[in-house]
Each structure stands twice: as structure tokens, then as C-alpha cells.
Amino acid sequence: MKGVILAGGTGTRLHPLTRITNKHLLPIYDRPMVTYAIEALVGAGVKDVMLVTGGTHAGEFLRLLGNGHDYGLDRLFYAMQDKAGGIAEALGLAERFVARDRVVVMLADNVVEYSIDAAIRNFEQQPRGARILLSRVDEPDHLHHLGVPAIDASGRVTRIVEKPDDPPSQLAVTGIYLYDGDVWDVIPSLEPSGRGELEITDVNNWYVEQSTMEYEILDGFWGDAGESIDAYYAVNDFVRQNGANKSRPD
């Protein structure tokens, strides 16, 4: 199993903080944001990782992380995204690194309370396909800004709707995705969305259409620290008080 951490984007939702650095280098409590994603993967046994980033501050990741050994990684590779072309395009840059192995993809601004080890172990037992991690969201207005799955009576995902006016469930798709080797055939087939990007929701819906999409619902806290200034500080406050990537209680 390989890991890919996506740490690109322009970070406009966190201006003016991101005028001087990449958002994933901003601090969450007592250390840079990106280190929580690394910790989540290492804690789940994934120690070969590629970090995909871009922009004028890309070199700062190398200065911070180096070869990754200080963070528990066996190997850390880097890839550059020339422009903001979407999450799926950024993932496509890792194709040679992953080499059709199974891959866990994590957006570097996502922070979770508990270890994702169980999700990765379950995916390793899954014959083929993809697995997404979901989180319960109680605020309907918040769901309007997220990807939301529709789930049928048998518990299968039937579609994922991006930023729905009428959310089909109270679950949000987090920025943690697991894929088999078919993902490298899907990404080249995508058409850019209305904002000119290759969307990860289109990748996920391809697996839904193949009936090979599985999911897990996260226990505890999940936060997207890059969603807004308010969300950034909410994640900060939670981690300061409760920590992150902890072993789940029995």
C-alpha cells in the first residue's frame, strides 16, 4: 500500500494567511498542518509516501520534511503540480510512484481524531474497487458545501453529489480516499468540470457506477482546516484540547 498526500492549491479561502506560505504549512496547534496527514498514514502502517504540491512555496516542504525519516516514513517522494488543475489531476502525478499498487490518498488539510488503521486494513481485504471515509455532519448548511453520498436501503452508495442544494444524507465525503489500480485508467478519461479542473467526485462516482465503492463512517472528529478561516481555527482548537490520530477506544 502506497500513500499520496495532496498539498497543493492556492489556499484562497485562508487569505491573508496564505499570501506568505502554503496553507498546509500553517500550524495546527503546535506543528505544521501537513505533519498530521503524515502521522495518520504512518500510524496506519503506510510508510512509502509521495507528497504532491505546487506554487512558489513548494520548496518549503522539502526544508520541513526532508527525506521523511524524522516523521516515521521509509521513503518520501515529491511531485510538482504546475497549476491548480484539481484533486484528480494532482493524484495523476503519482501514477509512476504508486505503480498500480493500492493507494490511500489524503488531502493534507484533513485532520481526524482517531487512527485510520482499520479503514486501511478493511480496504486491503476488499477484492477490488475503492473505499471512501465519511463523516456525520449535523449542520445541513454545512453539507451544502461538501460532497454528500446518497445511500440506498441496502447500505450501498448510489451516487455522490457535490455541494448539493438538497443533501441526500447527513454524511460528508472526507478528503481520505482508497483506490485500486483502476484509478489510473479512470483519471485520463475525465473531462474538466465547469471550473476547469479534474474532480475527484467524478473518480468516486465511476467506482459507484461499477458497484465497487465501499465506505466507512469515521468515529470522532473530522475537520477540513482549509475550508475557511473559521474551520481552520475550529480544527486548531479541537486538536489543542483533544489531540489527533489517536488509537480508538475499545
Binning pLDDT at 50, 70 and 90, where does residue 5 land? Answer: very high
Residue 245: predicted pLDDT: 98
Residue 114: predicted pLDDT: 98
- Is the preceding peptide bond at 16 cis, omega within 30 degrees of 0? yes
Is residue 11 predicted with pLDDT exceeding 80? no
Is residue 250 predicted with pLDDT exceeding 80? no
Per cent of the chain over pLDDT 90 is 87
Rounded CA-CA distance 38/101 in Å is 19
Binning pLDDT at 50, 70 and 90, where does residue 57 land? Answer: confident
Q: What is the pLDDT of residues 191-243, one digit of tens each?
A: 999 888 999 999 999 999 999 999 999 999 999 999 999 999 999 999 999 99
Pairing of strands 147-151, 48-53: unpaired
Q: What is the pLDDT of residues 88-136, one digit of tens each?
A: 999 999 999 999 999 999 999 999 999 999 999 999 999 999 999 999 9
Q: What is the mean pLDDT of residues 141-163?
A: 96
Residue 91: predicted pLDDT: 97
* Domain ranges across the chain: 2-129+174-190+222-242
The CATH code belonging to domain 2-129+174-190+222-242 is 3.90.550.10
Secondary structure of 93-143 in HEC code, one letter for each residue:
CCHHHHCCCCEEEEECCEEECECCHHHHHHHHHCCCCEEEEEEECCCHHHH
Q: How far is CA 18 from CA 8, 87, 102, 244, in A?
A: 12, 19, 33, 23
For residue 103, give the nearest of 195, 162, 183, 200 by alpha carbon: 183
Instruction: Characterise 100 by phi-psi region: left (phi > 0), alpha (psi -120 to 50), beta (else).
Output: left
Per cent of the chain over pLDDT 70 is 100
Q: What is the pLDDT of residues 69-93, one digit of tens each?
A: 999 999 999 999 887 789 999 999 9
For residue 72, give the nearest of 116, 39, 33 by alpha carbon: 39
